[in-house]
Amino acid sequence: MIHIKDLRSGLTIFKALSSETRIEIINLLRQHDRLNLNELAEKLKLTNGAVTMHIKKLEESGIIDITTTVGKHGIQKMCYLNEDSLTVDLRSKEIEHCYEYEINVGHYINYSAEPTCGLATKNSIIGEFDDPRYFADPSHIHAGIIWLNNGFLEYRIPNYLKRFEEFKELQFIFEISSEAPGYNEDWPSDIYFYLNNIELGFWTSPGDFGKMRGTNNPDWWPGYLNQYGMAKLLRINKDGTFIDGSRISDVTIDHINLTMKSEIKFKLAVSDNRKNSGGLTLFGKDFGHFNHEIIARVLYDVIK
């Protein structure tokens, strides 16, 4: 996800999106996941040189990425979308009172897991596939990817607020997908979010993605397993709870009753009794497409 807080910082992206041809390239990559330059030129009815110029601008903006592969006709440059969403804050101001914390996906404080399930570090699988006992292994704090068909993962967020300060908004940024045996691009899952055991709402993941390799996946990670997720921004403030700017519930931060002495516990959960029971997968910086763990951001006001 690309999140533009200041309009000037987004000039490169805005310029890249100012061409109908480049918009059509993005749409084609959305439909086909990845295409080489010859395929794009054929579909757009343009020369390879013209397509290359457009691709360069999209690559410079960070919207697409290019990998080199060996095909039937020699070395090919494959293009694919590097980001899955774009948000722009038109009224955003510099955040004066804010702190953020990056939490390893393996650094959960509580869990429940049922197969298919497992976890892995950047070097190896922890224990064995589909054995929930290994979620209690001390090495789980180093996990870079975690998947489960049914259950939850809960994380503790540091509370650094002082006297005369009050919570204004909490933000969570993470890479997530469904969990299917192997992978399945069409595998919807209702993933629920909780703050201090208060349900915030849910987001439906469309699938468990694996048609192309995750940008950050270690070389040993098998190609038949899930490869990457979608970057999501969850926000809870005085207006409600939102995913990527879309309201998912009317639960506000005031409903949580947070103070400087409060614990802050964030939970992601899936259940087999929901409409879409497709599990969940969380990706850290050593897996998937996005080079970060779970980012927790706390915005607060100073009481005068």
Instruction: Give the β-pairing of 64-71 and 264-270.
Output: unpaired
Correct CATH for 2-86 of 2.70.240.10, 1.10.10.10, 1.20.200.10, 1.10.510.10: 1.10.10.10
Exposure string of 24-61, with b = 16+ CB inside 10 Å and e = fewer, is: ebeeebeeeebbbbebbbeeeebeeeebeebbebbeeb
Residue 95: the pLDDT is 58
Residues 6+ apart with CB under 8 A from 132: 113, 114, 115, 117
Whether residue 16 is predicted with pLDDT greater than 80 in this model: the reply is: yes
CB 13 within 8 A of CB 64: no
pLDDT, tens digit, 9 for 90 and up, residues 188-218:
999 999 999 999 999 999 999 998 899 899 9
Q: What is the mean pLDDT of residues 71-95?
A: 69
Greater pLDDT, 9 or 15: 15
The confidence band for 69, taking pLDDT boundaries of 50, 70 and 90, is confident
Correct CATH for 95-302 of 2.60.120.260, 1.10.1040.10, 1.10.10.350, 3.40.50.1480: 2.60.120.260
User: Quick one: tokens of 128?
Assistant: 């064995």
CB 188 within 8 A of CB 274: no
Residue 1: the pLDDT is 61
Residue 304: the pLDDT is 77
Whether residue 92 is predicted with pLDDT greater than 60 in this model: the reply is: no
Give the total residue count for the chain: 304
User: Quick one: tokens of 34?
Assistant: 């990845």
User: Hey, where are the domains in the chain?
Assistant: 2-86, 95-302
Q: What is the mean pLDDT of residues 172-183?
A: 96
Question: What is the dihedral sign for C-alpha 208, 209, 215, 217?
Answer: positive
Cβ of 133: how many Cβ atoms within 10 Å? 9
Whether residue 185 is predicted with pLDDT greater than 90 in this model: the reply is: yes
Lowest mean pLDDT among 92-106, 142-156, 178-192: 92-106
CB 121 within 8 A of CB 137: no
